[in-house]
Amino acid sequence: MLIDGLIESNPEDKDALVIGARPYAVYAVAFVEARERAARLAAKARAYGERALCRSNTIACGLADLPFEQSSAALNKLRKKDVPYLYAFALAWLAWVRAESDDWSAVAALPKIEATLERVVALDKTFENGGPQLYLGILNSPRPPAMGGNPERGRECFEQAIAISGGKNLSIKVAYARYYARLVYDRELHDKLLEEVLKTDPRAPGLTLTNVLARQEAAALLESAGEYF
């Protein structure tokens, strides 16, 4: 309510819109199990993200609705000042696709989301301590090459994210284990990553809650590893 009120009182403020887009996206993905409610929250996140990006640079207005080639051309015209808004939009867009995963028209947006994150990295490779690389790793890893995936590109992105974050963002190692190590059936890498998470102090500026949740997920993944592998 506070965030919505802030945006309502400053509807043209791109920074206020980012403040709305990112928490709604994270909350929809991480804390809401009811599918319909998650979809509503993710849709709100996407709407805020779209508005923020459009106000940052009018070239990007309507980016999600453009054909791939046109959206790529628009992305190439964005500059470093647009990165915070581009990244917030990408996260919100990705949350929306996840919430609407039964809709193939939504899933079809994934290549454009990947291109959006790649543009963020091209403009600022250390932005958000490796956050863009984390999501690029997730996007590239789940599918084997025969189904259009690129697990090795996913592995590279996870390694880059860990290096950029200095290992402080534990959710990166958890995602690396879940989406890459399990896909390629690398039990040694899987367990190593998760054991490192459980041995690491979760307290870090701006990351403590994320890290606590990552440790919980790491414990669950390790517990189920025997059945998976």
Residue 146 has pLDDT above 70, yes or no: no
Mean pLDDT, rounded, for 194-217: 96
Q: Quick one: pLDDT band at residue 144, thresholds 50, 70, 90?
A: low
Residue 179 has pLDDT above 70, yes or no: yes
Residue 153 has pLDDT above 80, yes or no: yes
Min mean pLDDT across 3-7, 19-23, 86-90, 150-154 is at 3-7
> Considering the domain 125-229 in this protein, what is its CATH number?
1.25.40.920
Instruction: Give the Cα separation of 103 and 97 in Å (integer).
Output: 8
Residue type, 79: R
Domain ranges of the chain: 1-104, 125-229
Instruction: Give the Cα separation of 218 and 212 in Å (integer).
Output: 10
**DSSP assignment letter at 143:** S
**What is the maximum alpha-carbon separation in the chain?**
53
> Which residue bears the tokens 């309507």?
62
Q: pTM for this one? A: 0.93
Instruction: Give the Cα separation of 83 and 129 in Å (integer).
Output: 13
Min mean pLDDT across 5-9, 12-16, 181-185 is at 5-9
